[in-house]
Structure 1
Amino acid sequence: MIGKLKGIVDSCYHDHVIIDVGGVGYLVFCSSRTLANLTPGDSVMLLIETHVREDHIHLYGFYSSEEKSTFTLLQSVKGVGTRMSLAILSTLSPDEISYALAIKDTTAFSRVSGVGKKLAERIITELKDKYSSNYISEIPITSSAGKDPRINNIAIDSISALVALGVNKAEAQNRINTLLAQDKNISLNELIKLALKN
């Protein structure tokens, strides 16, 4: 299996790139986000996910480990294959996907060509827990949550969304604690909006 390619960008196309590695050209499918970072003639290192089938071997390349792991995660959803995963990553960054999952935003995924409302709902339903276990497991319960499971869930979801957007974990928790102490009936969307304003 090929896990990484380091070479020269030979040529770029709308959904793939040719990487010259020691005179051998590797065709690598990429999202438009990764392709935007590639210029013919430049040296490049791409993380690779290799898919072997009876009739083909396909290479999928990623500029960052976050994009690669998100690509793998997306494919765990029923009805989402490699092409759909790349389409989603071409429209939404890993951070935007994390945020959409945290606030259950189906419209974000519906912006992707080929993703209808039902598939968007399925993506959120099937990935919400996986996303939570990967990104929220290290976030402690906020003191404002108390024993109320609804407040606890909102606190965790809002903190994870802020962290995904680049806010320091401790700072995110402080902001959410303060806002929940002021209004325990606040909605998730409003909580995140106010936390970002602060």
Structure 2
Amino acid sequence: MIAQLRGLLAQVEADRCVIDVNGVGYLVQASSRTLAALPQPPELACVLVETVVREDAILLYGFAEASERSWFRLLTTVQGVGAKVALAILSVLPPPDLMAAIAAGDKTMLTRAGGVGARLAQRIVTELRDKCDGMPTGLPAGVAVSAATVAVPTPRSIAADAVLALSGLGFRRAEAQPVVERVIGRFEDNVDLDVVIRDALKELAR
């Protein structure tokens, strides 16, 4: 089983990247936050990996931090949460916010992730609320996470995250910023980071 990859970052897309390790290109799926944390191709990159073996494929999921990988593993224990949905959740909520949202029973925060409806959000809260103790958050030692730490992302913070992600994909900030703002302007209160990045990529690719 592959637990970590270190090599040249050959390519970055909206939800995956290719890492060249000694001439072998590994396709790694990842959250938008992990992809945004990667260097510019073709620089050296290192990601933690969760290997999923299926009858028809061997799939690799990459993470910039061990805490994100641990939460990915926990999320996928919930019925209805596959790898794609787990990555969508982690793209919207980093581990500290995810823990706090579950502790608070905040289904609205969870439904900001693509593929998560109210019923699935309730199932996640119900099944994981008692399993959060001891889960890593990536925060410095001694920093506690509580329901009070949950903050609803504002369009401004989502715009900043989207621009950061697009910059990680090789787009200049000056060209990405107006496109992101235009995409966000199409939405009202409920705007999802993954949707913003996806729609912005479509416009920038024209």
TM-score, length-scaled by structure 1 = 0.69
CA contact (8 A) 1:98 1:131 kept: yes
Q: Which whole-Å CA distance do the structure 2 matches of 1:68 and 1:34 have between them? A: 11
CA 1:118 to 1:15, structure 2 compared with 1: closer, same or farther past 3 Å?
A: same
Residue 7 (structure 1) aligns with: 7
Q: CA RMSD in A?
A: 2.2
CA 1:69 to 1:19, structure 2 compared with 1: closer, same or farther past 3 Å?
A: same
* Count of aligned pairs between the two proteins: 147
CA 1:8 to 1:54, structure 2 compared with 1: closer, same or farther past 3 Å?
A: same
Q: Which whole-Å CA distance do the structure 1 matches of 2:23 and 2:78 have between them? A: 37
Residue 22 (structure 1) aligns with: 22
Q: Please say if 1:168 is aligned against 2:169.
A: no
SS at match of 2:48: strand
Residue 51 (structure 1) aligns with: 52
**Shift of the alpha carbon at 1:166?**
6.1
Q: Deviations over 1:137-193 (max 9, x none)?
A: xxxxxxxxxxxxxxxxxxxxxxxxxx9876835xx6xxxxxxxxxxxxxxx96xx37
CA contact (8 A) 2:67 2:138 kept: no
Residue 34 (structure 2) aligns with: 34
**Shift of the alpha carbon at 1:102?**
1.4
Q: Which whole-Å CA distance do the structure 2 matches of 1:115 and 1:8 have between them? A: 34
Q: Which whole-Å CA distance do the structure 1 matches of 2:81 and 2:118 have between them? A: 14
Report which structure shows greater RCO (CA 8 Å, sep ≥6): 2
CA contact (8 A) 1:99 1:164 kept: no
CA contact (8 A) 2:70 2:135 kept: no
CA contact (8 A) 1:77 1:123 kept: yes
CA contact (8 A) 1:98 1:164 kept: no
Q: Calculate percent identity across the aligned residue pairs.
A: 47
SS at match of 1:36: helix
Residue 131 (structure 1) aligns with: 132
CA 1:135 to 1:32, structure 2 compared with 1: closer, same or farther past 3 Å?
A: closer
Q: Which whole-Å CA distance do the structure 1 matches of 2:86 and 2:28 have between them? A: 15
Q: Which whole-Å CA distance do the structure 1 matches of 2:50 and 2:141 have between them? A: 30
Residue 141 (structure 1) aligns with: none
Question: Is 39-48 or 56-65 further displaced after alignment?
Answer: 39-48
CA contact (8 A) 1:104 1:124 kept: yes
Q: Give the gaps of 5 or more residues in structure 1.
A: 137-162, 173-187, 194-198
Residue 185 (structure 1) aligns with: none
SS at match of 2:84: helix
Q: Give the gaps of 5 or more residues in structure 2.
A: 150-206
Residue 101 (structure 1) aligns with: 102
Residue 71 (structure 1) aligns with: 72
